[in-house]
Structure 1
């Protein structure tokens, strides 16, 4: 077989081009992080169950990047009623990503969640979310600055503290790091097997993994795709994700050769 890069499915978001042309979109920050740092081929996934199925995605891709997005996971997915504070929703994405996370965790297929993707991992595993963490006593405003350049919006803004000896400390090589922050919601109760492995100064969960998952199942609340090739926190995360996807790809190919032989 020809040696190829592993394929990472990048979860897309519904978008409007020019205000009226429906599209599926993902930021080029995500594709460049996957191609340049993870060493994988990025493949944009239209997250609508009318176009794709979880079973098909699992066969086509070696891993999945659960990207950020403006719409939030609908609170009905974790047993609560929607309020104005919950913001906008994308029920089509919910229908694809939540079962996809559970399937990947069960199979050991690599997943890496970012921002909304971080929240999807928690909800998929049975956890809940706060609709607006800046309204909680003692919490800071983690939202993206409303004005400024892209560089200013994605600038480093707060510390994240990893658990001693935990998964993230081992990957990044440090217990205390600095990250950007561009989110409004946050984890209320962690899902089953979801381990909070990093928090901000105000106690907001920022890094999680799924305990006893047979494969790479990590997520962060910040946006490591920004400046991923040069950021000392982002780069090792995307490198480890790429290695996990390559291992899955090679295992799949070895199994195919064994069946053919």
Structure 2
């Protein structure tokens, strides 16, 4: 069911984009499924946040944009996180290697760093999805396994994309997750076990001290984490709740809870 909000109460959420390089032309892009899920099930309006080149990452306009928002969504992507760039977004690197399709997206890393830093400083709701969870972990000092297949063949198979299936079916449930009964996710999920999809090569190795484990896979991999002591909902999940959200109860509950947190945050700003 679509969540309706009066226009004056509708929260506005920033959604992170990715950098696409085609024929030497740089483009920012994201999949519409994020926007559709946020609008239809979170009840929020969305704006697309642009990626940053190194020379723009420290500009004040980024903070200006964030102050006008009521929440931020860190979307997924095929590219791997570059911890060095995410930790120091204004640092200069070889611009010719900033973007490599499905491998590297440093402009996105810079955007994630700025968005997370601003959202934490402002006490703003955060929803990280797949890469977004990994960004949260790296931002707070955690580490990632560069390849789950190298960690464990069984884990690699469990979490990897299923290229032999049609794209839509690749986002079917792949494994179960156990949900902590005393965390931030349990009141949303209202269950201690759920089935989730899984399409990622990297995964959390060491969880950042500032994050709390909210859910984990049968192999022990962290599947969801929240910011400890957060004044609002600040959480990331390793799966993609946006893909089959119309038929996935947990996905609908997650987007609804995030949307409600954004409305509350909007109210505190107005007062």
TM-score under structure 1 normalisation?
0.87
2:249 is paired with a residue whose SS is coil
Deviation, 1:229, is 3.1
Residue 32 of structure 1: aligned partner: 36
Query: Could you say what the CA RMSD is over the residues aligned between the two structures, in angstroms?
Result: 2.1
In structure 2, runs of 5+ residues without a counterpart are: 1-6, 88-101
- Per the alignment, in what secondary structure is the counterpart of residue 185 of structure 2? helix
The match for 2:136 among 121, 132, 142 is 121
The number of equivalent residue pairs is: 245
Shift of 1:122: 0.5
Q: CA deviation at 1:189?
A: 0.9
1:12 counterpart (5, 17, 22):
17
Is residue 62–residue 246 contact of structure 1 (8 Å, CA) maintained in 2?
yes
Partner Cα separation in structure 2 for residue 156 and residue 217 of structure 1: 24
Q: Which residue of 1 aligns with 2:122?
A: 107
- Residue in structure 2 matched with residue 158 of structure 1 by the alignment: 175
Q: Equivalents in 1 of 2:172, 2:25: separation in Å?
A: 31
- Give the secondary structure class of the aligned counterpart of 1:233: helix
Aligned to 2:108: 93
Gaps in structure 1 of 5+ consecutive residues: 80-86, 255-261
Which sits farther off after the overlay, 184-193 or 173-182? Answer: 184-193
Question: Which residue of the partner structure matches residue 48 of structure 1?
Answer: 52
TM-score normalized with structure 2 length: 0.84
Deviation at 1:16, TM superposition (A): 4.6
Q: Is the 8 A contact 2:85 2:106 kept in 1?
A: no
Paired residue secondary structure (1:3) = helix
